[in-house]
Amino acid sequence: ILLAARDSTVFSRIRNILADTGAAFHLGYAETPEDASISLIEANWDVCLVDTSLEQTAIASVVAELALGCVGTPIIVLAGDKTAGLSHRLEQAGAMDVLNRSSLSPAVLQVSIHYALKNQRYQEGLRASKDELIKQLLDVQEAMARLHTQGEDYAELVEHLAEARDRAESSESRYRTLTE
């Protein structure tokens, strides 16, 4: 789990809350949006927790940038009481969930992380299904192109056979005339 927060006390609090869940985890820390972006690109984080202390004024744009940079990594925003009304904007920007930092409990954080990871697996499954569907559609298009080419070849063959039949009938007619 990567925690992006300017306030190091948030790191200590989240580490303690995660320890209280009883789950095994590794908690990383980034103090700036840039550090968080780099860490998300370089390391394989399962979840990114973004605290609103990271960037109070434009937290939605920070979340949007992180979401673009770490496609597939769920982002959970830890909001203070003053930013709790931004939930809808943050979710539109790419946050999987928005939790109130002041009332955060181990159970709430654990459930949020669980659902974020579950959603991530579903998204990966959907992407894989979409990729497979695209591959199948391309195969169908290729088969249709081959069929179209074969149809043109068949039409050309029928035309050649008709011409050959006409020549054979003409030749037979001349032969009969000559024979008579």
Q: Which stretch of DSSP H or E encloses residue 1?
A: none
**Residue written as token pair 């190091």:** 8
**Residue among 108, 116, 105 at smallest CA distance from 74:** 116
Look up residue 54 and give its DSSP letter. Answer: G
Residue 83's pLDDT band (cuts 50, 70, 90): low
88's CB contacts (< 8 A; 6+ apart) are none
Separation CA 139–CA 122 (nearest Å)? 25
What does the pLDDT look like over 28-60, one tens digit per residue? 998 888 888 888 888 888 898 988 876 655 777
**What pLDDT score does 54 carry?**
67
Percentage above 90 pLDDT, the chain: 6
Contact 89, 42 (CB under 8 A): no
